[in-house]
Chains A and B, each alone.
Chain A
Amino acid sequence: MQSNLDIRDFPLIKRIRESGLQTALLETADDVVQRVTAGLNIADLRSMLRGDPPGRPNPRLRPHADSFWMHMRPGYYNQAVTGLYPTFRLGFLSTFFFALEGITGLFLMVFYTPSTEYAYADMLNILSNVPLGQFMRDLHRLGAEAMVIIVALHMLRTYITASYKKPRQFTWATGIILLIVTLAFSYTGYLLPWDQLAYWAVTIGASMAEAAPPPVVGQFVNILLKGAPDLGAAGLLRFYLLHVFALPAIGTIFLGVHYYKVILHGHSLPPEDEKVGEDTAKRVPPDVRRYYLPDIQAAEVLWVGVTMLALIVAVIFFYDAPLENHANPLSTPLHTVAPWYFLWIQGLLKLGDKTLMGVIIPTILALSFLVMPYFDVGPFRQYGKRRIAISLSLIFITAIVILSWMGTPKFLVQTSLDQEIFFELAPSEKVGLVRAVPYDELIIGAYNVDDYETSVPRSSGLWRVMRRYSRMIEHARQTPPEQGGLPNAEAFLIVEQLQPNLKGVILRITWDDPDNPGERLSAELLVPVHRDAYPLGGE
């Protein structure tokens, strides 16, 4: 029977018949490579890797015309912007983190349910039961924090090199949107584990929504964000949807616009290379062209590799994403703080009222950043001519750092010293000193802070705890009662065996009641410590 499918018509077979096996295979491989690279053959690739100059016409420009991803990238850069300076690759790294968060986030999403009932249990499952679960979670969280820093630095560098000036005003404005999106990503993600850390940090921030003036608007925004007056199931779902749907969508759109504008105007040259008022970024003389293929691309791949390796090393040796106890709306841990990138707002809040400091000032700040390039229209980009602008940025950074410090509990927080002491020795949500003592070194007994030197062996981890305890008690005895002091304080640490593998450390302080002479006040905290709970003696 005659088939119209003749094996001899297959291109590969035909080639073999025409030019022999070896040539045919090489030609086919060449074909495949050319398709995959949208225009480059094996010889082109090899010459690129050898560092040969391109031919004329440059075959390495072909993919920029034919490939979707490559058509977004310029065919060549000006030599002056290809070093570390002036971009420091910060824009590229911001994009890298955006992608990394997307990928690791997708992994976590598979194992996560946005409900108050399951969210926390799902986190535990990711950590205890999903291979590479902790690794991915740590990467996602560390990546998020790094991204905030990188994006902020990118903004700082475009400010310092005055790259926001004409014609790049709009690039800057879309950048501000991307900054807000980045912060919103971090912040909405913060809530998702539904632990005490998440719940209370986000509660502090979300209470700001309520303060938006006038009250009707505040209430509306609050309900819109949380779905109920208090943070609960509806709020968690909304934060989740913002985090995995709305923000990625907004971010992708604005990243597209942002990068389109970057290409449209060309990367701004180092300020000292330009004459005042000129912008020659788009005119790249042939002798200073650096082609994207292979030079820029190889640089980018290397940067991805180095950054990735740095993150992985950090995650393996230095960084563990925190997970505290299950969120509990009824118990506020002492000293709850906002995530570090919002500490400056918490600092502002200590200076004045919520509406002004928490809503009006940050909003004005964001708006003025957004429109800044349309007002700062001076033609100078040279550093020497922008002394005021550059000083302003330094002042601004200093202010943010000081405000952030003021946002921490170190500044202007008054609690009674007994609670401070308990917090230092055994905070409700962190490991603290007591729990870090190896289980076997918790020796059963009752110890007085005033004679621990004789009753606790120096070799026991307990000794360090007692030393800290006794110093804090000494300080509390000296402090006047109006400032939370504990006159004539007596303090004990008692270790008892509660159960197999479970010891109870009781901290107990008594002191004179300043209001009722002759009476004593007391405070007590039980800290159960299980043998397996702190395998590394710490986190």
Chain B
Amino acid sequence: MSENVNESRGKTLFQRLFTELLPIEQRALMGTLVFIAIILAVGWVALNEPRRMDIYTAQYEGRSIQRGASIFVTNCSSCHGARGEGIAGVAPALNTPEMFDGTHLAELGWTGTLEDYLLLTVAAGRPARSADWPNPMPTWSQDYGGPMRPDEVEDVVNFILNWGLAYEEGYAEAPAEEAAAPAAPTPEEEEAPAFEPVGTDVTVALPEGDPARGEALFLGTESAPDGAPLGCQACHSLDGSVLVGPSLQGVASRLPEGYESIDLYLHEAIVAPSAYIVPGFEGINMPDNFGERLDAQSLADIIAFLKTQE
């Protein structure tokens, strides 16, 4: 090491680092300190793991509920209501106390957990129309031919389960804050005028349609006159793949026999879907309440949009 020391004379520390090795004692000391620091750091991480994993799990569940909320708005609220309150004559409420206190499951004779009941119902839907409802609950999971991935089914179920929290003791967030809602009218109230439903009569004349708005309505990027998205794209793709209903790719050029014009056929297919059932979709129903949810202009827009699907 002695030559090393001689050479080092007159050099700054930086120059020395740059061109030669530091004396081994110094490096041994630094190395020891560094390795002690590593052991301490990893030990610290390890000690914090249980807490970190708990936070991560809670965070993940929170995000799952968030995603579930978005899924619910696009796919479920058209039948179950914007807040799961149900729509008379379409689908039952999902946010009732009975759903969470076991009464409902007991009535059905279900002995498993609520979570499993929900997962199964949403994933598989109901095989047939029950006496109470005009249309059965559609199938949602890809496992059974529906449009959703299994993890999305879990997300929306987590979202439904989260309503149950409101009935648990000591929970008081929602009412208190809602009471504090500001006086300013929400733009929804301002801008969603009462509208005149077009009804199920296919002979009414429709105004000129705007395909762009029709597309927005179809995709749900614009809400229907009643304030909720229509959810057509939940059941219909535009690229040939079959979700719940037939793909609407090319629908404009496949007029079934017995119809005079494509306009009339589409009009009927939307407001009175059970009048003609697309072969292969017998027993699967399209909601038949669109006549009440659409005004004449919106219906015309959707038809104009569908006519572009050649």
Asked if B186 CB lies within 8 Å of chain A CBs, one says: yes
Asked if A523 CB lies within 8 Å of chain B CBs, one says: yes
A83: chain B residues at CB < 8 Å are 16-21
When C-beta atoms are compared, the residue in chain A nearest to B154 turns out to be A121
Q: For B165, give its contact among A312, A326, A499, A535 (CB under 8 Å).
A: A499
Q: Tell me the bound Cα distance from A120 to B152 in angstroms.
A: 12
Interface residues on A, range: 35 or more
When C-beta atoms are compared, the residue in chain A nearest to B63 turns out to be A533
Tell whether, in the assembled complex, residue A134 and residue B52 are in contact, meaning their CB atoms are under 8 Å apart.
yes
Asked if A430 CB lies within 8 Å of chain B CBs, one says: no
Task: Pick out which of these stretches binds chain B: A208-216, A243-251, A294-302, A464-472.
Answer: A294-302
Q: For B37, give its contact among A309, A530, A532 (CB under 8 Å).
A: A309
Return the CB mask of B86-102 against A: 1 if under 8 Å, else 0: 00000000000000000
A295: chain B residues at CB < 8 Å are 21, 24
Task: Pick out which of these stretches binds chain B: A23-31, A165-173, A476-484, A490-498.
Answer: A490-498
Asked if B127 CB lies within 8 Å of chain A CBs, one says: no
B106: chain A residues at CB < 8 Å are none
CB-contacts of B58-83 with A (<8 A): 58-63, 65-67, 69-70, 73, 83
A391: chain B residues at CB < 8 Å are none
Tell whether, in the assembled complex, residue B73 and residue A501 are in contact, meaning their CB atoms are under 8 Å apart.
no
On whether A305 and B34 interact (CB within 8 A), knowing A313-B41, A522-B222, A531-B62, the answer reads yes
Tell whether, in the assembled complex, residue B187 and residue A499 are in contact, meaning their CB atoms are under 8 Å apart.
no
Tell whether, in the assembled complex, residue A298 and residue B67 are in contact, meaning their CB atoms are under 8 Å apart.
no
B59: chain A residues at CB < 8 Å are 532-535
Return the CB mask of A303-315 against B: 1 if under 8 Å, else 0: 0011011001100
CB-contacts of A271-302 with B (<8 A): 287, 290, 294-296, 298-299, 301-302
Tell whether, in the assembled complex, residue A499 and residue B159 are in contact, meaning their CB atoms are under 8 Å apart.
yes
A227: chain B residues at CB < 8 Å are none
Tell whether, in the assembled complex, residue B19 and residue A504 are in contact, meaning their CB atoms are under 8 Å apart.
no
Tell whether, in the assembled complex, residue A455 and residue B182 are in contact, meaning their CB atoms are under 8 Å apart.
yes
Asked if A526 CB lies within 8 Å of chain B CBs, one says: yes
User: How far does the Cβ of A500 sit from chain B's closest Cβ, in whole Å?
Assistant: 4
A313: chain B residues at CB < 8 Å are 41
Tell whether, in the assembled complex, residue A316 and residue B223 are in contact, meaning their CB atoms are under 8 Å apart.
no
Count contacts on B: residues with CB < 8 A to the other chain.
72
Asked if A127 CB lies within 8 Å of chain B CBs, one says: yes
Tell whether, in the assembled complex, residue A82 and residue B21 are in contact, meaning their CB atoms are under 8 Å apart.
yes
Q: Tell me the bound Cα distance from A528 to B57 in angstroms.
A: 18
Tell whether, in the assembled complex, residue B25 and residue A500 are in contact, meaning their CB atoms are under 8 Å apart.
no
Asked if A502 CB lies within 8 Å of chain B CBs, one says: yes
Tell whether, in the assembled complex, residue A325 and residue B24 are in contact, meaning their CB atoms are under 8 Å apart.
no
B34: chain A residues at CB < 8 Å are 302, 305-306, 308-309
Tell whether, in the assembled complex, residue A498 and residue B27 are in contact, meaning their CB atoms are under 8 Å apart.
no
User: How far does the Cβ of A264 sit from chain B's closest Cβ, in whole Å?
Assistant: 24
Asked if B265 CB lies within 8 Å of chain A CBs, one says: no
Asked if B49 CB lies within 8 Å of chain A CBs, one says: yes
Q: For A135, give its contact among B37, B45, B150, B181 (CB under 8 Å).
A: B45
Q: Tell me the bound Cα distance from A530 to B45 in angstroms.
A: 27
Asked if B278 CB lies within 8 Å of chain A CBs, one says: no
Given contacts A51-B24, A445-B184, A500-B162, 4 further A-B pairs with CB under 8 A are A53-B1, A298-B31, A305-B38, A309-B38
Question: Can you list 13 A-B contacts with CB-CB less than 8 angstroms, sorted by A residue number?
Answer: A83-B20, A134-B52, A296-B21, A298-B27, A308-B34, A309-B34, A443-B180, A444-B180, A446-B182, A446-B184, A500-B166, A502-B66, A502-B159
Cβ-closest 4 pairs across A and B: A533-B62, A530-B62, A532-B62, A528-B69
Footprint of A on B, CB under 8 Å? 1-3, 16-21, 23-25, 27-28, 30-31, 34-35, 37-38, 41-42, 44-46, 49-50, 52-53, 55-63, 65-67, 69-70, 73, 83, 149-152, 159, 162-163, 165-166, 171, 173-174, 177-178, 180-182, 184-188, 191, 210, 221-223
